[in-house]
Structure 1
Amino acid sequence: MKQFTIISILSSFLFLMPNANAQIGKRFPSEKKVVKDPVTGTMLTFLTSKPMGDSKIYQTHNQWTSDGEWLIFRSNRAKGEAMAVHEKTGEMVQVTEGGYTGMLNVARNCMKLFFMRKPLDSIVKKKDNNLKNRPTSMQVVEVDLAKLFADSKKGKLKKANYYQRVCGSTKPEMGAGGDLALDGDENWAYFRVGKEEAARHLPADTKLEKNYGPRNMGAGPAGIAAMNVHTGEIKYVISVPFQIGHIQTNPWMPGEIVFCWETGGKSPQRTWRVMSDGTGLRPLYPESEYEWVTHEAVISKDEVAMAIMGHRKIQVADTTGTAVGGANPGQEAAWGASGTREKPTGLAIVNLRTREMRIEGQTDKGSGLWHVSGSPDGRWAVGDDFSRSVYLIDRHTHEMLLLSTGHKTTAADHPHPTMSPDGTKIQIQSAMLSEDNKSMNICIIPVPEEWLKRKY
């Protein structure tokens, strides 16, 4: 029995050790393919084309490295690790070792990558049933991509800790985890904290929100804290009485944070904005009960794009009592009278300074635009819909173009379009090439040349 216990412990330890075949800097051959969209004629560049569990970073965050040459993405080529693909050559490089959790943060001003992960000793403790439910600390880790790419190209790689640096660790009682968002000054990284920690920072008389909607999500409290990526210093930002979802920052305005009230669908008040010192908390876009606001993304110094959904049928009173129903997300009647086209819907852009909002465009039928992005120069907006089609909008003329379709409604996820920093192309994730109709690949869609040449 004693021998069996020793073997079990050794087996667990070996399982947790980094895989020798999953070394940071390992290179993978190009899978790059250029495919013509069979419907629109747009030439699509698939930077990956094999069924290896690829998915892009969420559209609230940066995708490209600061030199504009690489895209960072998630993949099972090295299970549990992040990858980079060179846009011109298609070559791929593993950019983490030891795993990561939550959001990948690609710095815009330097060749660095930031993410959170659990320390190895925390994973070992979780194996003990007596310690399984106890909160653990979290590390914020920095990767020096410039050194890594250079050594990987030479074929002379060093140990992981030469490229990866632990910026600091949170205290277990904070319950840290979830989204990580790198500040515009790239000195601080923001993250969610657990309910107990959030409650400690709420005024005693704060009324907590209950779960909202059929998914039984949204109850508070929740909070945001930050770590200085140079010193490991931790500061507290704010607590709120509801569940926090995506956290993102304004890359052009250090200290400005945008986050959401997460319910899994329609929220009473989805979008929020706060400064890093906890001041200035307010709804980003004050919404009405009939508005279904979702998938907000900071797109420029002063602007946030979001979708006001028009995906639900208008229910006309009749004698049948027919309820809203359907296979697409959010069709359950329990979401209330929101998300129909009785009121204005579409891809909306809110000005952070003036608080003005305008709708840039909407599909003429179907679900309407869903996940959205835009170019920092204010020229373009882009969105997908339930059919996984991708639409481009000229914000000067409000002309809308079906840019690409055929990305399969059976795909493991949605396209989640993200506009490049220079506004010339869009990154999506697509199942167009998959044989199982589910697995996804990283794809680049160009803005049409004739649109780029437009003068206003």
Structure 2
Amino acid sequence: MNLKSAATLFLLLSTAVNFAQIGKRFPSEKKIIKDPVTGYELIFLTTTAAGDSKTYPTHPQWTSDGKWLIFRTKRANGDAVAVNEKSGEMVQVTEGGYSGTLCMAQKSMKLYFMRKAENKMQIMEVNLEAVFNDSQSGKMRPLSTYERVCGVTSPEMGASGDMALDADEDKVYFRIGKEEAAKYLNPDIKIEKSFGPRNMGAGPGGISSMNLKTGEFKHVISVPFQVGHIQSNIWNPGELVFCWETGGKSPQRTWTVMADGTGLRPLYPESDFEWVTHEAVISKDEVAMAIMGHRKIDVQKEIPVEVINGGKVRNPENPGQESNWGNSGTREKPTGLAIVNLRTREMIIAGQTKQGSGLWHVHGSSDGRWAVGDDFSRSLYLIDRKSNEMIMLTTGHKTTAEDHVHPTFNREGTKIQIQSAMISKDNRTMNICIVNVPKDWLQRK
């Protein structure tokens, strides 16, 4: 190899390493536009087609200092990136990939996630403050300076990246495999089979925890069905919410349990005609969820009208129309954005659209002032929980988008993060976007 070829190879290798390195900076793409229908400002923090998507609404989106949002993207070769809400600058915050949920601590500048290591899972911690400071100065140090392996699961556990960080930030909770869950389940308990057309929901399932300081594992709970959407109550240590995951309607969707395995119960005991979905802990005592009203009723037959090839094919723009889901999800009974109190067990309907699919992915401010939800049209609605007034904040985010809007409030209850394909040229690619609660609403007493 001659000198020129060697220099070229070195440059290529250096570029590849640099691209994958924690602390790599990306220029601001920030752009503010007005919604063409509502006139409200939309603050797009990313605007290129780079495969962006937000962390699921069950988890915090902002870092503890309230300055950065961490999101999933392909712009960093499959690693996570943080965007500064004020400047729009972006910084890569993981190196070597991650699996599943990104868990942002709210008491410290730390990020937790799982990383596959052969047939095991490493539970990782990243010191975000050090990453941001060194990235700003342009003097990044070795990866070991910023990240720590808190513990490693055994292959037998079948651990997945569906993970949540406890309110005390001393432990994480995560989903385990069927074989591990079965070890802790009473053999007399009937194991549930798959439910619905997506062939999901079969048990058993379970949750385990790991102490972030000692690496100690503890079993939390086993249940006879598939577990999904594990989330912690970030205001109340040791309290969990999770779901029976079927990919759609469940016989009993929402569940809650304490970290020591006590107190297992349905969060909202549902009827067979109710389609409950997308639960999210929004405050110390409350969980928001959607009771869907997205299916039409045939008055003559008193069953949902199937609109796609006899109800056998999924419709990505209006899902859940398959006949296999049963007689649920219609507006024959009350539907809407429901909020359940974890202590009193009371449920209220905060609001609902007058037509269409109804509110689908939901969230609320922790101070109890606001609730928010999207629908199948990818429109976003804000609800004043005191007056029950509801307004559309934004619409036109394209039903052809790769994913849904997925609204999440910040801790102060002043702004909402969504993901949007509104400005995407291919009508599919998502970008990270902020929608502020209107000033006149914030000024209400």
- The two structures have a TM-score, normalised by structure 1, of 0.91
Deviation at 1:20, TM superposition (A): 3.7
Is 1:363 aligned to residue 353 of structure 2? yes
Structure 1 residue 235 and structure 2 residue 218: aligned? yes
Aligned pair partner of 1:440 in 427, 430, 442: 430
SS of residue matched to 1:280: coil
More displaced 10-residue stretch of structure 1: 65-74 or 229-238: 229-238
1:348 is aligned to 2:338? yes
Contact 1:325–1:333 at 8 Å: present in 2 too? no
Which residue, out of 259, 264, 288, partners 2:271?
288
- Structure 2 residues without counterparts, runs of 5 or longer: 1-12, 309-314
Tell me by how many angstroms 1:316 deviates: 1.3
Instruction: Tell me what 1:324 maps to.
Output: 306
Alignment of 1:97 with 2:95, yes or no, is yes
- The list of structure 1 runs, each at least 4 consecutive aligned residues, that deviate by more than 3 angstroms after superposition, is none
Task: Give the AA of the match of 1:400.
Answer: M
| Distance in 2 of aligned mates of 1:318 and 1:70 | 53
Structure 1 residue 215, shift from structure 2 partner: 1.1
Alignment deviations for residues 360-396 of structure 1 (CA, whole Å, 9 cap, x no partner):
0000000000000000000000000000000000000
1:252 is matched with which residue: 235, 240, 253? 235
Residues 156-167 of structure 1: pairs in structure 2 closer than 5 A: 156-167=139-150
User: Is the CA contact (8 Å cut-off) linking 2:304 and 2:327 kept in structure 1?
Assistant: no
Q: Hey, what does 2:260 align to over in structure 1?
A: 277
Q: Confirm whether residue 385 of structure 1 aligns to residue 383 of structure 2.
A: no
Report the TM-score, using the length of structure 2 for normalisation.
0.94
**Which amino acid is 1:170 matched to?**
T
For the 8 Å contact 1:34–1:44, the answer to whether it is kept is yes
Check if 1:189 corresponds to 2:172: yes
CA distance in 1, matches of 2:228, 2:42: 32
**Cα distance in structure 2, aligned partners of 1:322 and 1:290:** 11
- Are the counterparts in 1 of residues 70 and 81 from structure 2 also a CA contact under 8 Å? yes
CA RMSD of aligned residues (A): 1.5
Maintained 8 Å contact 1:346/1:359: yes
Partner of 1:132: none
Q: How many residues align?
A: 424
Determine which of 19, 32, 35 is the counterpart of 1:34. Answer: 32
CA-CA distance at 1:178 after TM superposition: 3.1
- TM alignment of 1:80-95, pairs within 5 A: 80-95=78-93
Aligned residue among 404, 420, 423 for 1:430: 420
Q: Hey, what's the Cα distance between the residues in 1 that align with 2:142 and 2:44?
A: 31
- The secondary structure found in structure 2 opposite 1:38 is coil
Matched-pair identity in % = 70
Alignment of 1:125-140 (within 5 A): 136-140=119-123
Structure 1, gaps ≥5 residues long? 1-14, 123-135
SS at 1:177 equivalent: coil
Q: Please give the per-residue CA displacement for 1:431-451, whole angstroms capped at 9, x wherever unaligned.
A: 011000000100000000000
Task: Write the mapping of 1:110-189 to structure 2, written as runs, cut at 5 A.
Answer: 110-119=108-117, 122=118, 136-189=119-172
Distance across 2 between alignment mates of 1:74 and 1:21:
16
Separation in 2, partners of 1:150, 1:222: 41
* Alpha-carbon displacement from aligned partner over 1:334-382 (angstroms, at most 9, x marks no partner): 1111000000000000000000000000000000000000000000000
Distance in 1, matches of 2:285 and 2:189, equals 31
Paired residue type of 2:270: E
